[in-house]
Structure 1
Amino acid sequence: MVVKLWEFLKNVRQTPVPFEPVESCDFLDRSDDLVVSDLEGTLLRSASYFPYFLLVAFEAGSVLRAAILLFAYPAIWLLASQATAIQIMTFISFIGIKVSVIERVAVAVLPKFYLEDMHLHAFRVFTACGTKYVITASPRVMVEHFLKHYLGVDVVLGTEVHVARGGFCTGFLQSPGVLEGGNKAFAVRKYLRDRLPDLALGCKSTDFPYMALCKEAFVVLNSSNAPTVPRDEYPKPLIFHDGRIACRPTPAKALTLLLWSPVGIPLAFLRGSVPLLINDTRIVVLVCALLGVRIRVNGTPPTSSSTNKGGGTLFVCSHRTLLDPVFLSGGVQRRVSAVTYSISRVSEVLAPIKTVRLTRCRSQDARRMHNILLDECKDLVVCPEGTTCREPYLLRFSSLFAELSDAIVPVAMDARVQLFYGTTARGWKALDPLYFLMNPRPEYEMWFLDQLPWEMTCAAGNSAHDVANLIQRRIADKLGFQCTNLTRKDKYLMLAGNEGGVANKQKSLRRSMKRLRSKMGS
């Protein structure tokens, strides 16, 4: 308590800052400069380490581990210095977890939250320099992928964690411990030796020792109120990310998540049981609205008779969650069928609509979908992306659907959540609907576009790839999304380190990873 009070009183005192604010730094013509910067409070607007440790505790550990960190945080904040606080949070979040699991969280989960908290002017100054070093008190295993992959950082000097035999983290730190104050200056001198950095960025008094070593130094003040980096200025686009938590888990938000869960779980089961218990889709939509599930329908949902007199209608949708076909069924006010691939058996058994599992054998899959559309004359929903994407991008559309029917109706679908994501690449997929329905007000919005004219279908001589690309562009334009050439395989390679459940040899996996890096770079 005494240490915390003394730090507070030091911050309150109007002590002069020996450096100019970062807003006065000219970031033009710095391609030959070497910059050294802190991360939290400098490149990131927030100086708090807690949200990122909680994400690691939850995603790499468990709900219990995250709850322990949350309940311990008030005592940590009141009684411990910053260096001690980082040691304690590292111990709670890391102990007993394989370092490879933490690395996967650092690749799949953390970059989204880092990018959305970037300080605009510090980011522009930092990325304008040719050689970039970051020195941070955060464990290097948490931040290195984000800094090197998204910001092009050359060297990351961070706190090192101790790893025992078998790759398990002990929760302790390696010497010299947390990189703060004099440790930062020592690390900069040791690594750069006789070279003097051209520019330094920092935000607090503990950064001043290493900032004094540089030719120029600028301080970031009031960073929490600074503008964030717009999406179109990201050095690399953020297309894929994983994890269940949708909001930045500050202590207040983390407490909200914990307190809402006992209410949200039974509410999600109640919402999910409505389509199973009630057969009339109109009543289902009404009851779901009363339970807080919002469905917005734009355009006129077609009837089977108005689109294809010789069979069912083929709805081609963007893929946001596993529940896309269920919500589309509510939008058209009738039960539809859906094709699935690589979803859990539990989801198939509990689905309120008919599902047909695909095999990835083109001839077999075409025959199954043809039977539904023409032989059974039922409406069919397909999501040609093959997997979900959370960000405003559309993945490449598979062209198989274009060969099956001339009655193609594109449907632009988007889902919005507040607390939890209803998709996962690394977790248990059977829980995806539950997490989506656990949100206080889960929302789906869909736009029914005009049926594809006959002259643009395969029956008029167009190739299936051209038809698929045309529908992808139409849906993207309606949603304001960007089209990509990325696929389901690319998503799972990045987020889960595999090809989405398809068995492959190690050599093939390395080849696929190389192809993915070239795609993301372009």
Structure 2
Amino acid sequence: MVFPLVFLKLADWVLYQLLANSCYRAAGKVRDQTPRWSSSPQQQAGSLFPTSVAHFDLSKDIKVSRTLVCDIHGVLLRTETFFPYFMLVAFEGGSILRAFLLLLSCSFLWVLDYELKLRVMIFISFFGLRKKDVECAAMAVLPKFYLENLNLQAYEIWSKTSSRVVFTSIPRVMVEGFLKEYMSVDDVVGTELQTVGNRFTGLVSASGLLVKHKALKGYFGDKKPDVGLGSSSHHDHRFISLCKEAYVVDDRNDQSCVMPRDKYPKPLIFHDGRLAFLPTPLATLYMFLWLPFGIILAIFRILVGICLPYRLAIFFGSLSGVQLRFQGCFPQPNSQHKKGVLYVCTHRTLMDPVFLSTALCKPLTAVTYSLSKMSEIIAPIRTVRLTRDRNQDGKTMKKLLSEGDLVVCPEGTTCREPYLLRFSSLFAELADDIVPVATNAHVSMFYGTTASGLKWLDPIFFLMNPRPSYHVQILGKVPPEFTCARGRSSFEVANYIQRKLADALGFECTTLTRRDKYLMLAGNEGVVHDNKRN
């Protein structure tokens, strides 16, 4: 049934291009030569409603007791297209094969109407997926991309109202978590999907795709909402015409509409997923074209790190596109102590100790939690697992320090955003020679960390990026008066080093922990048992 519809749509498009569009252009030329007697500015702009920023009163600092209704795409978000968000569900909640099928569908999606296009994308993205996987992607992956595409001007109006309801034809499961967690929405009315057991069928429910103006009437009845925000499409005009006040969000590509990070409705600290870019069709095509080269390049970079001396590894690594920036001085060990130097790193990826060792051109030992066997095999430095038993881990780290220099990441887990998690204080009790190291990583295609995915692929994904970069800044030794040897508590030392590293990186300190991260992103406490290790 779908193929005949596609054929008819294609024929209709060809006829439009050959006949109707040419007639329209001819009529336009005649119209341009006809004198225009009078027209209002709004009529000239082609909109029946005023633009939101120009007419809505934003002067009040308190929320007005009014109800606002709008859609998310094209209104709250600066982009009207929803393909990238379906791609995120297909890739992060499904698999790379599902994402490839969705990309292939672009070859015929452009000839379909809005409803059929949406149904096809829903089917490809959701068919057979577990509800748990989709909900995890909606809460842990999508919010980052939603926040980065928020429309600042629309949000300013949103924040001035006390009650908000979002109506959207997008599946409700894709947007409800974000809207309730970050946008304080009162209710979300969207397209519902069919399920069999705990899996999606890829089909919409019996009620079909949500029609916004009909859903608004059914939700509010005879009562009209106070404010309606919509895009310039005629579908939204019909929707917002049912409100007491109606405004059109325009100029979405203007820089004044971009939401800066410091104005996010809620700080974005944790997020998951592999893709570090918004997967538009063109960007996704580039990713799939890059994948074969990226895999080969990652293998080459791993072999360079394992087999070559430090100087050659840096040289060939830079030739392959890896950028390593090093700042600071080489610390000198205290001759009065036979212990090694304890390097305290921020934790951006599993490769923090590797790049520190490479920058120093000396072998180091790193202690880690829940490190996969694959990561241990390909690591060019010695790694030792900790048990999360404080007494046992303390003894292990003391023994390692007596053998040489040691690297520890007291955050206990990675964080992608410019925040530092709370530091565990155990390290402060073990050494007097403590050297803080500020590390930061940048990627353009794939994240080298995950909370709910396959952890053994973390270093491989990082090295698959075209030009991954690491910034390693070695700060001076912690002054003796800020160590436990001079009477400071281990918590004071840990907090002091956390603030020092945050200042060096321009990050913000938090009291969040590893447990907080995994409860939010993966629904567990982040403890990986041996029989479940990836």
Secondary structure at the aligned position of 1:89 is classed as helix
Within the alignment, does 1:426 sit opposite 2:452 as a pair? yes
Which residue number corresponds to residue 123 of structure 2? 91
Residues 308 and 120 of structure 1: CA distance in aligned 2, closer, same or farther (over 3 Å): farther
Within the alignment, does 1:220 sit opposite 2:249 as a pair? yes
CA contact under 8 A between 1:385 and 1:398: conserved in structure 2? yes
The Cα of 1:232 is off from its aligned counterpart by: 1.2
Question: In percent, how many aligned pairs have the same letter?
Answer: 50
The Cα of 1:282 is off from its aligned counterpart by: 2.0
CA contact under 8 A between 1:384 and 1:399: conserved in structure 2? yes
Please, which of 89, 94, 99 is the counterpart of residue 56 of structure 1? 89
Which residue number corresponds to residue 187 of structure 1? 215
The Cα of 1:176 is off from its aligned counterpart by: 3.0
Deviates most, 169-178 or 473-482: 169-178
Secondary structure at the aligned position of 1:223 is classed as coil
The Cα of 1:168 is off from its aligned counterpart by: 1.1
Deviates most, 44-53 or 7-16: 7-16
Within the alignment, does 1:460 sit opposite 2:486 as a pair? yes
Secondary structure at the aligned position of 2:105 is classed as helix
Within the alignment, does 1:318 sit opposite 2:346 as a pair? yes
Please, which of 363, 368, 371 is the counterpart of residue 391 of structure 2? 363
- Paired positions, count: 494
Which residue number corresponds to residue 345 of structure 1? 373
Please, which of 400, 411, 417 is the counterpart of residue 372 of structure 1? 400
CA contact under 8 A between 1:308 and 1:407: conserved in structure 2? no
Which residue number corresponds to residue 173 of structure 2? 141
Residues 136 and 307 of structure 1: CA distance in aligned 2, closer, same or farther (over 3 Å): farther
Residues 4 and 420 of structure 1: CA distance in aligned 2, closer, same or farther (over 3 Å): farther
The Cα of 1:276 is off from its aligned counterpart by: 1.2
Within the alignment, does 1:201 sit opposite 2:229 as a pair? yes
The Cα of 1:309 is off from its aligned counterpart by: 4.7
TM-score (norm 1): 0.91
Which residue number corresponds to residue 153 of structure 1? 185
Within the alignment, does 1:26 sit opposite 2:18 as a pair? no
The 1-side partners of 2:261 and 2:237 are apart by 31
Which residue number corresponds to residue 198 of structure 2? 167
Gaps of 5+ in 1: 504-522
The structure having more radius of gyration, on CA atoms, is 2
Which residue number corresponds to residue 113 of structure 1? 145
Residues 436 and 4 of structure 1: CA distance in aligned 2, closer, same or farther (over 3 Å): farther
- For 1:475-486, list aligned pairs within 5 A: 475-486=501-512
Secondary structure at the aligned position of 1:366 is classed as helix
- Listed one character per residue, the Cα deviations across residues 115-172 of structure 1 (whole Å, up to 9, x for unaligned) are 00011100111122100111112100000000111000001011111111x2211111
- For 1:289-300, list aligned pairs within 5 A: 289-300=318-329
Within the alignment, does 1:265 sit opposite 2:295 as a pair? yes
CA contact under 8 A between 2:302 and 2:378: conserved in structure 1? no
The 2-side partners of 1:486 and 1:359 are apart by 21
The 2-side partners of 1:220 and 1:108 are apart by 28
Please, which of 93, 100, 125 is the counterpart of residue 132 of structure 2? 100
The 1-side partners of 2:157 and 2:128 are apart by 39
The 1-side partners of 2:336 and 2:302 are apart by 31
CA contact under 8 A between 2:331 and 2:476: conserved in structure 1? no
Q: What code does the residue aligned with 2:330 have?
A: P
- Listed one character per residue, the Cα deviations across residues 71-126 of structure 1 (whole Å, up to 9, x for unaligned) are 1113102x111121111000000001112210110011000000000111001111
Secondary structure at the aligned position of 1:156 is classed as strand
Q: What code does the residue aligned with 1:35 have?
A: L
Residues 49 and 307 of structure 1: CA distance in aligned 2, closer, same or farther (over 3 Å): farther
Which residue number corresponds to residue 73 of structure 2? 40
Please, which of 479, 489, 492 is the counterpart of residue 515 of structure 2? 489
Q: What code does the residue aligned with 2:407 have?
A: V
The 2-side partners of 1:4 and 1:476 are apart by 57
Q: What code does the residue aligned with 2:157 have?
A: V
TM-score (norm 2): 0.89
Moved over 4 A (4+): 2-15, 306-309
- Listed one character per residue, the Cα deviations across residues 38-82 of structure 1 (whole Å, up to 9, x for unaligned) are 1111110110110000000011111111001001113102x1111
The 1-side partners of 2:465 and 2:181 are apart by 32
- Listed one character per residue, the Cα deviations across residues 274-300 of structure 1 (whole Å, up to 9, x for unaligned) are 12112x222211221111111000111
Gaps of 5+ in 2: 1-9, 29-43, 530-534
